[in-house]
Every structure is written in C-alpha cells, then in structure tokens.
Structure 1
Amino acid sequence: MMSKSWFNRLLLSYMPIFIIVVTFTFFVFFQLISEQGRKEAINANSMLSLQAMRLIDTSLRAIDNMVMKESINNKSLIDFFNSNENGDPYINISAVMKMNDMISYYPLIDSVYLVRYEDQVVLSNATGGHIDTYPDKAFIEQYRNTISQKWTDKRSFKQFTLLESKDVVSLVRGAPFMTGEKGMIVVNVATDSLERLVHELYNSEVSFIRIKDGAGNELLNEAEPVDSMRVYANYKSSYSNWSYISGFVQGTFIQTVSLLYNVWFVIGLLMIFAGLVWMIYISRRNAKPVEQIVSRFSGYKLALAESGKNTGSGRINEFVFIESALDNLTEQAKQYQQQYKEDLHLRTRNLFHQLIEAGAELTPLEWQREAQRLQLPAPADRHTLIVMELDKYGEFCSSYSRNDQNLLKFALRSITYEQSSRFGYACWAEWTASSRLSVILFESGNAPAAMLVQLCDSIRAWIEQNMKFTISIGIGDPALQHSEIAKSFQQALEALNYKMVLGENRLITREDMMSQGQVEVYAYLGMIRSAVYAFRKSEASWRAELDDLFSQMKQGLLTKDEIMNVINYLLYSLGRELSGLGKEFNLVWESEALPVLTGKLDNCHSLENMHEAIIGKMTELEHTFADMRYSGQHAGIIQEMRRVIEEEYVNPNMSLEYLSEKYDMNAKYVSKLFKETTGQKFIDFLIDIRLNEAKRLLKETRRTVQDIAEEVGYTSAISFTRVFKKVVGCSPGEYRSETLKQQNG
C-alpha cells in the first residue's frame, strides 16, 4: 500500500512536466502551421499581382502589335489616309469594316477611330465627320503633335454628344507608322473591361487588387475602403508604367491566423504557470516523507560542514545529506574494487618479472603461495621460456589503430593459452615489450622436446593463416630449477636476435644458432672495401663481391646489431670513396642516394631485404655516375684511353706522355680529363690493373717475382715489390704464402 502511494505521488510529480511538454508541442506545431499558412498566403497574393500585371500587359501589347501591323499592311487603312473627303465612299466603308474586325478580334477594345489630317476628317467604327464636330477633339489636338508610344492614363471618352462618357485608356498610333504625317489611329479600352478581366483572378472577399496609371489614377472601381485592406505586394509594369497593388481584406484569413497564434501563445503561458504551481504543491507534499527519513538518522553525523555542503542558515540539506552518505559508500566500494584489480595486475606482472630477471630472490615456496593468491599456474617440474615477437612491428603499428593493436595482441595471447591447453601445457603469458609476448610453459613429467616445437609451430601457423601479420618465436632451453628460468628467457631473446639472418615467421632454437659457425664482424671489412673500390672504378665485379658479402653474412649467423654495424661501415666506405670523385658525384650521393637508401634500410626486416635495397640503389647510382662521366666533351677520348691502358698495361713505357703523344694532347690536360671523367688518377688506374693481374699470377702460378713483375709491365722487381707492398700492405712473397694457407685450410 505504501509503495503504491509513493508510486502515485511520483507519477503526479512528473505529470505537470508531461502536460507542459505536450502543450508546448501542440503550441509549436500550430504556430508553425499558422506561420506557414501566412507565408503561403502572402506568396499567393504576390503571384496574384504578377499574374494580373502579366495578363493586362499581354492583352494591351497584343492590341498594340495588331494596330502597328494593320497600319502598315492593311490596304483599307492605307487607302483611307491617302484619300480625301470627296473620295470614294467605299474606302470609308472598308475602313469601318476593318475597325469592327479589330473590335471583334479583341473584346477589350471599346472603340476605334481614325483621324486624317489633310481634310480634318474623323472616322470611327460608329460614326464619321469633321474633327470640329467630334466629341474627342481636345484629345486629338493634344496628341496630334506628341504621339505616345504607349497607353495613355485614365481619361473620359464619349462617342456621341448625347451619350454619357466612360473611362478608358487609349493607344495612339501615327499613320503612316514611321512618320505619322497623314493621321492617327486611336484605340480605346474601357476600364470596365480591365476590371472584369482582373476580377476573374481572385476572390474580392479575401483579397484585393488596385491598379493605378502613371498619374496615380485608380483604373478599377473597388467597393472596399482602404482602411480595411492591408497591402502585401506592389509591382510596377515596365510596359504600361501602371502600378499593381494587392493585399488582403482585414478580418479574413491572415487575421484568423494571427488570432490563432495569439491564442496558442496565451494557452502556453497559462499551462506553464499551472505546471509551476502544481509542481510546487506536489514537491511540498512529497518532501514530508524525506524529512521523516532524515530525522531518523539525525544521530549520524556526516562532516558536511567541512565539505561546504551545509546551507547558509546552518541547517542540513536533506537531499545533500542522503546523497553524500550514498556517494561516500559507493566511492569507497569503487576505490576498493579498482585498487584490488590494479594490485592484482601489478602483482602478476611483478611476479613474472621476478622469475625472468636474473638476480631476483624468490623461493619456490614464495612463488607457489603468490601463484595461488593470483590464481596462476603452480610451479611444475620444469619450465620453458618462449618469446613471441611481432614481425615488421613498424608496419603493424602504422596499419592498425591503437585499439586494433590491443585487440590483435589480446587475440595472440588468447590463442597462446588455447593452443597450450590443447597440447597439454599450462602457460603464463605477459607482454614484456611492445612487440614481444613472453610465455612460461609449465611441464610436468618428461614431455618430449618435439611436442614443444609442435606447440610453437601451431601457434605460428595459426597466426599466419588467420591474421594479417606474422610472428617469430625464440625458444630457450628447459629450466629444471626455478632459478634457471631467467637463463631460459635470455636464451629465447638471444635466439630472436638472429631473426634478421635466419628469416621471419619461423621458430628459432638453440640448435639453429649452433648449426652454423659464427664469423667475426671484422672479417667482412676487407670485402666491403674491395667491393666499394670496384664500384668507384665502375668495374662490374662490385655486384658479385657484394653478393658474396651478403651470402657470407647469412652463413656467418650475425645478430641484428652486428648486421647493422656491417651495413653502416658499408655506407661509410661508399661515402668516403665517392668523395674522391669530385663535388658533383659527392653531392648526388649525400643529397639523393644516401637519404633514400637509409630510409629503405630502416624499413628492412631481413638480410635479404637489405641486400635487395643496397644492390638496387647502387645500380641506380652506377647508371647516374656513368651518365655524368660520359657526358663531357672528351668522354669518348678518355674511354678510348682506358681501353688502350687495359690492353697495353704490360708496356713499361705506358705513361701520360705516351698517351699524350698517341692522341696529340697535353699530358697535364690528359691527366685532368682522366680524373674528372673516371674519378681516378691515371697512375692509380694503371697500378690497379697491373696489381690485379699480379695477384692472379701469384695465386695461380709458381713463377718468380721477377717474371711476374716483367709480365705486368715493371722492368725491376724492386720497384714492383715497393708498389705492391704500398698498395696491398704486404710483399708479393707474403701475399702468396698467405693465399696458400687459406687455400689449404
């Protein structure tokens, strides 16, 4: 019973708001309808004025065009103006018949008459005679010398003296049309005809139309007084110069609409006032139970004064009192739950890091107790660490939003738990880096190592088939004691360091790292210098040397950091060698090639990608340098000199003087052109060719140093040995011995 009473009270409390909303809805609705109706009525009235103006202008213009056409083409009218008073009577009869035809074709025409200046004769459709006896003599005299091109203002006209005059507007045209020297044609249109024409367009009880001529005279006879009318449209004809005024008669539709608007406005105000009164009454009535509830808790002292929630008089606000108590309890509960969740998550991550970090002091008993509290897997007989790394993590971040990244990472973690359970493993996975998910696998008994590999490969294959990214998995050795878990974790991380060499989207174990012998990084520096030197000399061997370099790097099983050190040395060597080619070549390398190549290498995730990027860019650079070298004026001559040097390098007399005599050029100029075109001095080019051949002979033959010196263009073994040691770094004999040792292993 009490609950029903409260329900009714609350229902009545909200009822005034409901009534006010509904009332205002109706008020706005009818207001919009009224306003729309008023606008439509005004637009219709404007269209009425325009329609009346266009109708009258069209009718008058048609009469004007007809008069102009007939005055030019009609024989009866032309004959009348060309005859005299004593002429043929048939001419007058024909002219009268033509005027009657004009009146028949255009009902608006009230009368037509013709004036012939030569004998002062006036001939109308009803009578004829001398101008002195015609009632419209004054009008004729007025317009005889100033013939209007359009319609006159409103005037009085009577055909006969005995008849009453009527209001007309007249059109006066000269005859002939262009000069008007022989007479005039006067066409009269009664204003009554115009009034009947206009009255067919509207209802005079609702709206009105006023037409005024150029002098301001009313053309229509209206019965309504001006005070009872309200003007909404006023247009002026460009043809007749008449004004068209229209509006509504007061007390009709517009007044009704305005009245409705006022009525609904008053009703809305009354409903607002009634709703306010009703809400005050209901609020006072429903406040009594709340006061009783507060009085029962008067012994509970809430620190409202400190929080500034007391009223100014020192009296406690009942709703604030209740709200503060509930807020306080709710906030405490939320804080407790939030703190519990945060502590749970932080404790879980902290425990995981204690296990995988070397030097953390954690006993098996402490681990077991904490795992039980956090609802984690209990310690097992042995544990294996695996680390899953997202391949091409930069592309992963750029392809997905932050929310999508979190969702995909959650999916990877979930599939790890699911697959581990399917293979009979308990697992514990935590994100230890933005791109790495570390997993502890709990093994009870002696599970075969092959099953662990199958589990990791199933996770990798599922991600490859169902996701748009791949993962690489590093696997550490099983930890028989909990203190060895950190070592297993480091082994898994170390395995991932070889991902750039071994490839992505695969498993990397200790066996993979031990199956290939590692080579020290400095072993590749000589290969880099040789390839870069060949590139500088535009020799085709540089590509094969770089291919061999990357092949040996892959076989040497370098870590990511070691690979980056080798690549950086390669770029440094390229820049150093190319700086000796001249400013133009160095500018191309530093401003164009190096930034592009660096950007490509930053996006490479494997040794193969780096190989392709470097070979591709150096090939482009080789073509660019070739175009720059052979675009000079003497490029063909220098190219021919290079061919001669390569063919005749064994000639002891090969020198700049020899070439200058052969090509009839100054020796210094030859030296300058050779350096600018090839990027290398003449003597260096010659020494490279001779020493490369000498190295081949030292490796492949048992000939003496003296014989080899003569074979490559040196007359003295001493000078050959001095040059060889300066360039290669050791004597020819030492070079041969070192080569034999390498060949024999």
Structure 2
Amino acid sequence: MIQMSGAFRSFLISYIVILIIPSIAGYMSYLTSISVTEEQSIENSVTQLQKSQEILERRMAEVEGFTRQLAINPDLNVLMNEKVADDRTNVYGIWKMLRDVLTFGQTNDFLQQFYIYLSNYNVILTPGSAYVRPEHYYDSFHYEDQSLAEWKQTILGRTHRSETMPLRPYVGKGTKTSVVTYMQSFPLDSFSGSSPAVAVVVIDERTIASLLAGITDRYGGWARVSDAEGKTIAPQGSGAPDMESLGKAPGFDGGKISQYYDDDLVITIRSDANGWVYRAGIPRDALLANANRIKLMTWTVTGIALAVGLLVGLLLAYRNSAPIRRLVGFMKEQLGMQESAGRDEYDFLHGNIAEMIRNNNRLESELLRQVPLLRDAFLKRLLAGELQTHEEIAAAAAQANTGIYGHSGYVCILQIKGYSGMDSVEILNELNAARLVLKQALLDLAGFTLTTDWGSDRIVIVFASREAETGGELGRADIEELLGRLSRKAFAEYRITFTAALGGRFQADTEVSGSYEQAKQALEHALHANRTDVVWYEETRMESATYYYPMEVEQRLIGTIQAGEAEEAKKLVRSVVAQNTEQRELSLEMWQQLVGEVKGTLLKLLDRKTFLESGRFEPLKDRIIAVQAADGDSFRAEIEEIAADLCGIVVSRKNDHHTRIVEQIKKFVEESFADADLTLYRIAERAERPEKYISQLFKEATGTNLSDYLESVRMENAVRLLRENRYTVDEISSRVGYNSSHSFRRAFKRVTGVSPSSYRQTAED
C-alpha cells in the first residue's frame, strides 16, 4: 500500500499538474474543433438551402416565362378575341394551340398540370384535353375547401397578374394532395374585373418538397417555404412550428440567417425576387453529429490518457519518494527521533540536515581549535613509542594533520639552563614563556613546528625534511648551524641559554622513539659533563653496568610482531643490539640478563592465542629456549629470524581472516545485488566492520573497488536476463538493483560499450 507521505504527495501533485497543463490545451483545442465543426455544419446547411432556393426560384421563373409565351401565342390571341355565335367552337384553333403548349410540361415538372380558361368559349384547355364546361373540369380537379361557384369567382372570374396562391388541399381525379397555384390573366395588361383568358398552373407540394429533400435527408428535421405573410408555400419534413407563429415568437429574430430555437437550428433565407421565406429546421444533435463524435473521441482519449497518466504518476511518485522516505526513516532511527506533527519529509530533512551542517561546522571549528593539541599529542605518542606500526602512525598523523615528512632525521632535546630545582609558580610561568619564545624563534628560523614540550624546562624537536614539497633532509651540519643561530638569538634577545642533545639518525617514522631515547642519553651525558654546546649521541659512548632494554621498547617489539611487520621488528632488534654493543660496554653477566629478557619477551608473546592455535607453536618455543648468549651478531640474527617467523604466522592468520571477510562480502553482494538500497553502509553493517575498513580491505584483497564489484555483479546478471529475453529493459533494471532504467542504461553502456537493446539484438542475431 502506497504511503501517503509528504514527499509522495509533493511528487504526485507535480505530476498531476503536468497532466493538467496538456489536458487544458487539449480542451481548448477540443472547443475550437467543436466551434469549427459547428460553423462548417451551419455553412453547409445554409448552402444547401440556398441551392434549393435557387432551383425553386428558377422553376418558378420558368413557370412565369411559360405564361409570357402564352401571352404572345397568336393562336391563343385569336381564340381570346373571337366572337362566339350559335355556340360554334373553333375546334381547329383550340387543337392547334394545345399542340403548341403541350411541350412545356416535358421540360419543367412544375408544368405537369396546368389549364387555360377561355371566357368567350367558357372552355378549359389542358395539355391532354379540352373541357367544354368548367363544371366538367371541376368534377375531376378542384380544391377541397372551395366550391364550384367560389372557384369560378376567385380563379376564373378575376384578373390575376403573376399571382401565387399558397398551399391548399386539392383533389385530382380522386387523389388528395396539396398544391400551390400560379395564376396569370391574358392579355398581360388586363386590369378589369374579368379577363378573356386565364392560365392556371397547379404545382403539387411533393414536386416542390423534392427540392428541399436534400436538407431533411441529410440532417432530418424540417424545411418550409412561405410567402411574405407567412403562409406556407411548400413543406418538407415533420416537427415544423407554425411559420406565422414562429415569425412573431419573442425569442426568434427573423433577420438572422441562423439561430437556435427549441433545440433546432433554424436557417432563414429571404428571396429578393418574390419575398418568399425559406426556412429549414435542423436538430441540434444531427447538426453536431460530427462534433459529437469528436467530443466522444476527445473525452475518451483524454480520459484514458489521464487515467494512465495518473497511474504512471502514482508509480513515479512512489518510486521517487521511496528513497526520501528511507532516508528519513534511517535518520529517525539513527537519531532516535519520532514523527513530528505538522512536518513533512522535506521539513524534517531540511531541519535535521541543517542541524547536522551546523553541528559539523561547530565540530570543524572545534577540531581546528584542537589541531595544535592533536599535533602535540601525536608527537608525544610517537616519541614515547606508543605508535608501533606504520598504519597507526599514518592514521594518527592524518588525524593531527601533520607527519614526519621524509620519514628520516634526528630527534633533539633542548634543556633550558638556569632553572634546575626551582618549582615556584613564578619560575614555571617564566619557563613557559621561555619555551614559547624558543618555539617561535625556531619557527622564524627554520619554518617548521615539529616541536613539543617535555617537562617544564625541555623542548623536543624532530628534525626531518624542511618542507613536505621539497623532500630535502637536514644534515648534521645544517642542524648544528640552525641550533647555533637559535642559541645566539635566544641569548641576545631574551638571555635564554640551553643545551641541545641529539639522538642517532632514524630511517623510518617507527624509529623516532629510538632516536628520542638516544637523545635522552646524550642529554644526560651533556648535563653530567656540564656541556653547553650541541651534543650528539655518537659522542657519548659510556661504560655501563646495566643493559638498554626499556619497557617501552619491549612493548614496541611485541606490538610490531603482533601487527605482522617483520621489517620493523628486525629494525627494533638491531637497534636494541646496537644500543648494548656499540653504545655500551656490558659485562658477560649483564649480556646474559639482556638475552634472557629478550627471550622472555618472545616466550610471553608466544602464549598469545594467535600462536597457540598455530601448528608451529612447539618448534618456535624450542627455538626461543635454545637461543644462547653468544656474540651480538649471532644473537641478533637468531632473534630476527624468530621475529620474522612469528610475523609470518600473524600475516598468514590475518590473510585468512581477511579472505573470509572478503568472501562473506562477495556472498552478501551476490545475494542482495537486486536491492536498490544496497550501499557500502549496508555491506559494512552485515560484515560488522567500519565502512572504510571493508572498502580498503576489499581493494587490497581483490584489487577492485567494492562499488565496481557490485556494479560488475549487477551487469553480469543483466547480461543473463537480456539473453533470456523474458523481461523488458525497464524490468531488468529494477531486477538488478537500479532505481531508474536511465541509470541502468548508462551504466550498461559504460561497462559493455553498447546499450542494453543493442546487446539483446546482437545476442538474438
């Protein structure tokens, strides 16, 4: 279940905003497309109605032209002007005229049914026949709402000038229909109450409606043609409102070409020729059918896109917020904090990281303040022999931000003179000031500060290379010249005098304590001889009733052997032998005691668990017991060999232990490589060792960085999955421990030189 954390909500809201922006753009595009579609539909409907208007007006113009041709027909003029006597009829003239007008109905379907009434003959002429009496014609063709007398009076008995009678019910040979009637009297300039002849064209409503069928067939709805008074000329379709009522409706503007009225798009066109009004009513749904399809498709696609986008947003929000939640959880676990009300992950991280930075800055300031103390402590431990191996010295030097540059030189002790046996507060303050003056003067003259106080009246100086960059070393002449300048400056300016004693040359930083011991012996000799110049250890060979093998040297020898440093142990053994053979003249009894002390040290060391569990314990014990007090060279060689064998056991055991740790790390990595949160911290936690330790140990044991090994394991499994071809690249990236497929693709190409897709294609080929 997705945890609705603050980070998750922040990511999700950002993704939703990203989804909303194109959705708004799509919605605006949708509105535009709907508007354009609607405009095109209206435009098409208007065009269709205009075409119907043009055809209808053209046909009506042809009807009017037909009456004009009748007006100039000579046969009709003869018939109209003949005087009828004794009921004689000009049969030939009537036949001839009928033959002339018969062809008009073949070219215009509006002229399929017409008749001509001759008042002088009281006869009705039609394209197919002649009716001697109008009553005969009325029996077959008449208006349902008009009697014979009314017909004779309004149609046959009046003068008509291009007159159109609106739609009326009509019966033709027993068939009921509705017709529009066009009437024209002859001659054309007839103005009296009656005229010699009348031409009447009867147009069936179905004939007119066929011209409007294009609109209703396409969209449905209705179409109407009405005269200027709103009386219907021609109807088409169903559901049309009354045209007279529509024209007077308060919400309807008769001057607009298109407008919506009762869910219909009403299109209105007025004829300039005869004042007729052409109207079409198209249902809104039918008109916007294309727009509705666009609407449906747009909302469907948008809905699917939003749903998919929301699911992807949920997935990405959870995926991207997961590291933040894990980081917050880890910080709370490590810092022992509980959830704070009203604070989300960002506030929590911001507050705690800011606090960590402030604490780190305070710690750095405190460390900087403590650096002089750390350097002094480092130098004191080094002189006392507490740091026994190179690794210990390097680590302590790095912590104190210092070191023995060049790793060789001399140790010097300055003994301030004139204060022996004085311990009052005033004297101690004066000695403290004198030490500060000498150290500052030395800094001014030599430019280095490898010095430390040793007691109230002594300063220890380590003379090594002048600068870390140059690597140059101070020779004995340089040191004597420097100490001479220091002595003259101290006396001239502060009336301070001192005795300088120097030990033998040390060749490694592990030998500094030995040089310091020699400097102490040289100082004792100088004080005993009351010397005030520079005294070197080589100048102080003394007869001694005791041997040189102090406890700190013994502890250093034990420490170097336990660390497995054979060369350092050999150097220490040589130093002890040299101290007792070259700088002292020991009696045979003292020499035997020294040999016994060294053998006791080795036997005491042999009782440690490391050597007891070794298969070489008994042989080594016998060798140590068998060592004899022969001359110094043979004793030194035998002890060096034993120390080297002991160091070999330590190194072998240490290597075995390191190998087991490395194998444990490899196994854990191979089991957990798919975990995207697998870090150096997690591996160190599993190995129960510090991160820096396992990183350095893995590098020394395998020659490969631990991070590179983890990446190689992931890439090997990715190659296997790509060859199996069961998962997509995105799925493989998550299965081999990558949070994003982009990071996986970049790492894969860096390691293999090709992209995952290209590698899969190559493997398939």
TM class, shorter-length = 0.3 to 0.5
Work out which of the two has the higher radius of gyration on C-alpha atoms and give 1 or 2.
2
- TM-score normalized with structure 2 length: 0.33
- TM-score normalized with structure 1 length: 0.34
